[in-house]
Amino acid sequence: MSEHIENDDCERTKSRLSKLIDDTVSIVQSRVRDVVIDDEIERKVKAVVQQLLEYTAEKDPRFRSSEILSVGSYKENTKILEPDEFDFLVVMDELSKPGVISIVKDDALPCYTYLEVQDEAVAYNWWCDENKILHQFQYLPNVTDVPESFCTTMLSAISEVAKCQNVKLSMDNTTILAVEIEEKTDRIGLTFKSIEDSFLHQAAVRSPNFILSLVVNGHHLTVDICPAIRYSNVNERCNSD
């Protein structure tokens, strides 16, 4: 009898705790949503990413992307507090064309696969081994004489933008530690065309991802940009064998 009562008390406690958590999350989310800044910030952040991708593609057409996918907690509506981090997948156009890439599962670790570049002309432009297995987005610091990576090309593009704006970058290897503006101005970082109140003040290579630190509408944000490939053969990809 006492065991039955203890179980009932335990279930009631769990129920009250679960309701308290749900109510707290709902209250916090409603207050944040009342600020009505989410959509505007996302629009500006995505515009910054688009502009940086355009600069990057000008330096290296391999990294042209006409598809930017918003992912992560903000996009999935699981972000409790106000948005301070945005995640994007940028689809590489050239590698995403049907028939260019195929999946190779032989000798791959569980849950992993290799990507073979089947198009000879495309394979020549990307970092592939003798079997045409793609290695372009791996981070191997000691490897030389390979095509420039997505992240280092984007970093180089940002450096050129800084020169055009007469802005000095404080850098350490593959990280922009700070943006130094010598003249008296309200700017607090690199600016972007037609995107008001948006500044870049830090960036870092975290291969295969590229990380931006932005200030948008006065809010400090982190942006995670990850190169991606859209694979067309869904049946092959979903094959459990």
- State pLDDT tens for residues 18-57: 777 776 766 666 555 545 557 788 899 999 999 999 999 9
Closest C-alpha to 92, from 62, 47, 125: 62
Distance of CA 118 to the CA centre of its chain: 27
pLDDT for 140: 63
User: CA 92, CA 94: separation in Å to the nearest integer?
Assistant: 6
In 3-state terms, the chain is what percent helix, strand and coil (to 5)? 35, 30, 35
User: CA 186, CA 67: separation in Å to the nearest integer?
Assistant: 33
- pTM reported for the whole predicted model: 0.77
Q: What is the mean pLDDT of the chain?
A: 81
* Residue pair 224/69 in contact by the 8 Å Cβ criterion: no
